[in-house]
Amino acid sequence: MSTVSRRAALRAAGAGVAMAGLGWPQIGLAAPAAGATDDQQADDQRVLANVTAAFAGTTATNADPAVQDKLTGLYRTAQNNLAAMVAEPTTELFTGLPLGTDDAHLTSTYLKLSQIAFATVMPLPDGSTVPTDLAGNTGVQHRVIDALGWLYDTYFGDQDAGYYGNWYNWEIGMPMHASRTLAVLHEELAAYRPDLAATYVQAMDDYLRSGKDGDVDLDSRFDTGANLADMTTNRIVQGAVLGDDARITKAISDQLTVYRTIDPYHLQHEVTDGFYADGSFIQHASVAYTGSYGIGLLSRVAATIAMLDGTGYASDAELADQVNVWMSQTFAPVIAQGWMMEMIKGRAISRTKTGYQDAAGVVESAVTLSAYAGSPGAGDLRSYVKYLHESTKVPIDPTSFTSPAAVQRYAQIVADSGTVAADLLPQEATFAFNAMDRNVHRRPGYTFALARSSSRVSKYEYMSGENLLPWFQGDGAHYLYLAGDDQSEAYGVDYVTVVEPYRLGGVTSPVEDRKTIPQLYGEQFYDNPEAGFTSSSVLQNTYVYFPLGTNDYSGGATLGSYAVAGLVQSDDAAYAAKSRGELPGDFVAYANSRSQKSWFLLDDEIVVLAAGIDDLHGRDVLTTIDSRIAAPTDDVSVTGVLRGGTRFAGAGTAHQPRWLRYANATRGNAVGYVFLTDPDADPDDDVAVDVRLREVRRSRRLVRATNPDTQITKQVFDLSVAHAADERPGALAYAIVPGADAAALGRYDGTSRGPVVVANSTDLQAVRHPQLGLVAANSFIGGTHRLGKLTIDGAASVIVQDADRGRTTIAVSDPTFGRDEIAVTVPGHRRVVTPHDGVTVRPVRGGTQLVFATRHAYGATTSVTVRGRGIG
């Protein structure tokens, strides 16, 4: 590893100015001083060598036995590609990939050429078990170079004929593969086709139509987040190929803007894509996307650090250390024992790639960054890698890593007895990612993940025939990952395939049948150019691909390892706009049901309160308490006890249940459901829970147009409560108890043991847990809300808990993101033990008013500790 000091200045229009205000240590950037041509050339050669090492390895890495399977895979892929390569191409270069109208085929063609090129530059020292016939084979390299020339002349070079289909392929995908090929074959290119690299780079510049003057444009809605990182990485590689220092320094400077923590109140270039202070990651302006685009961005920063290593552009260790923060605050919380969660994948939730495979991308980045981070950050990363290696139920496959060096380092970390496996997080922790409307709650036996939405965060993402049944994924859908389970048997693409979209766990939905975008319009988007709807237009994004909700209320507070979250269910932006007459007559939008919900994330249980369950359009409504899937041969049972003591078993309607329990004896796990006493409910109301356990067989193509037409069969269990259209608004109060047995469920009495519902209305929802000395609440409207001995002013999320030494801690958040301050009044005259700049203390008659400043807090929690207990 090489870490160098920063040079004095950047070339060309102050490229380093973009670094100002990043808010954390900066990567060292530099341009060669005047007359430093030799240094510049050495830097370019080092970048090219680093790129080659990243994809083909080095003599040192490739001699390692641990890397041989990876190298063999690269060799076989190249040989397969060569076998499919057409000797005298006319309309296709590789058999089965006809060119001219399908941009994805052209992108795949460039990918295959790069894979062949990698195999020809693999160093194969003594000890390697890989066949040597491709290594250094100039004949094969010339075939690749000639193929590049043919592709340019026939399909890529004509700017008027190109740029059909997906803009991403033309501005990022094809340039990425082509640039890598130019980089690893740069020596042979210089001798054989010295003009080809510059010709290609010029064409790639011209295809940056979302940018400006053949370069990225930081004001473009396309050139943001992970996309910008991809574009600038391509341009760094191209700069090294051409020996263009200005291109490299400009690209690095542009890329660094991606790593700036987003301040939603002071946006740079109006960009909302990126990392937020609470650990959230947003892409596509409003989509929670840690598990797809976030992984891509993480890999890009790791690749950039490695690519610039040993050069005058090299980074100081601080950037790698900053990535350490992202690992612990952004990525580790959404990985459950090696499984990347569904709720932060956008449309990728419908892909057949599993959560374990997704998490492997994070593992590779951690492995790479561990070689560059400072101490103790490097040790933390190595321990985390070893923890994931040991905890995942499906072994990590290092041959899936991009870099042979990462494969080698991974093997070294796993084998190192001095590296102790350790999670980056405690076993008991809670995370409110309010900037992306998500919650994660961790306990030793489970991890609970909750997806919300709002006027700030999209309800879902659909695009390009992916995630065809998305409508309720942001309406309180939850995912309960049980410790020790193989999560691919519980979630993943099979979950969204066999579970009805209207019956996702945690969702309240209208009883109706909806049509997918292709069913509605006969293609993968709403095509109406006259009205402003094209495949990648702003209106398509806003109303088809990833519509926002229309509710401001979505947020919550945390206190230690406990949390409360709240959501007001709403229509999406498309239905609201259609109702206002702003969309064309043939545009179809669906109205949502109504409810107000709170989740209380505790130790043994997650308490869920729902009120105002209703529909404004005369439809019946269904609230699904939970949905789980199991293999068709698994031994699954459902048991329970009703209020009168009658036992319940199997499927059917459970009237007035005290508790129900799902158990999968084959997998050794269980989930309990306790139905709590609701003080705001009519005691004569019959809570009828529909218990279903059935076998479902469906094709994975149901949720993604390009998935294989693989028929899967699963047992599907769900619990739901129906609400008829002619009934008054309904309410529910229940606790989800992971891992509970019948005896534990029987001990819940709703008064002294476990959580007690204090209020459950459309004004206030609150729970008290006597054993935890805790009370938590969401208030939904203006005015004064009384909660035991304290009062809450207006809409708020509040947690109050007894602390040690006769103290009480009060935590407050603004779930509307629009209030300047929230006042909470506690009885008696209280002295603040831990002053906070954001809390003003005011004595009032009979009590103490604590005023929490929430202006521009963006959902963050503020807490304060006062003397005295029993306040809640």
Quickly list DSSP for 795-824.
SEEEEEEEETTTEEEEEEE-TTS--SEEEE
CB atoms closer than 10 angstroms to residue 68: 18
- Report the alpha-carbon distance of residue 778 to residue 763 in Å, rounded: 8
The low-confidence residues of the chain, meaning pLDDT below 70, are 1-37, 315-318, 320-321, 375, 750-752, 872
Can you read off the two tokens belonging to residue 706? 């390009």
Chain mean position to CA 306 = 24
Backbone angles phi, psi at 261, to 5 degrees: -65, 130
**pLDDT for residue 19:** 29
* Residue 293, pLDDT score: 95
Give me the helix-helix angle, 245-256 and 295-307, nearest 10°: 140
For residue 585, with 0-12 CB atoms within 10 Å meaning exposed, 13-18 middle and 19 or more buried, which class applies? Answer: exposed
3-class SS at 600?
strand
- Given this model, what pLDDT does residue 11 score? 28
CA atoms lying within 13 Å on the CB side of residue 51: 28
Residue 801 CB partners (closer than 8 Å, separation 6+): 559, 560, 562, 772, 773, 774, 775, 808, 809, 872
Res 16: pLDDT: 29
CA distance 777 to 755: 13
Q: What is the pLDDT of residue 319?
A: 72
CB 166 within 8 A of CB 464: yes
CA distance 242 to 50: 16
Helix axes 68-84, 404-415, angle to 10 degrees: 150
pLDDT at position 411 is 98
Reduced to 3 states (helix: H, G, I; strand: E, B; else coil), residue 203 is helix
Q: How many residues would you count in the chain? A: 872
Q: Is the dihedral of CA 324, 325, 331, 334 positive or negative?
A: positive
Within 10 Å of residue 132's Cβ, how many Cβ atoms? Answer: 11
Are the beta carbons of 727 and 374 closer than 8 angstroms? no
Burial class from Cβ neighbours inside 10 Å (0-12, 13-18, 19+) for residue 13 reads exposed
The label of the residue with tokens 């005023």 reads 851
Whether 7 and 30 have beta carbons less than 8 Å apart is answered as: yes
List the strands of the sheet with 274-275, edge to edge. Answer: 274-275, 281-283, 287-288
Task: Dihedral sign for Cα 825, 828, 834, 836, please.
Answer: positive
Q: Quote the radius of gyration of the chain (alpha carbons, Å).
A: 28
Helix (H, G, I), strand (E, B) or coil at 561: coil
Decide: 813 and 598 in contact? Cβ < 8 Å. Answer: no
Q: Which residues contact 544 (CB under 8 A, 6 or more apart)?
A: 462, 517, 525, 526, 533, 574
User: CA nearest 858: which of 817, 811, 797?
Assistant: 817
Ramachandran angles phi, psi of 90, nearest 5°? -125, -55
d(CA 311, CA 708) in angstroms, rounded, equals 45
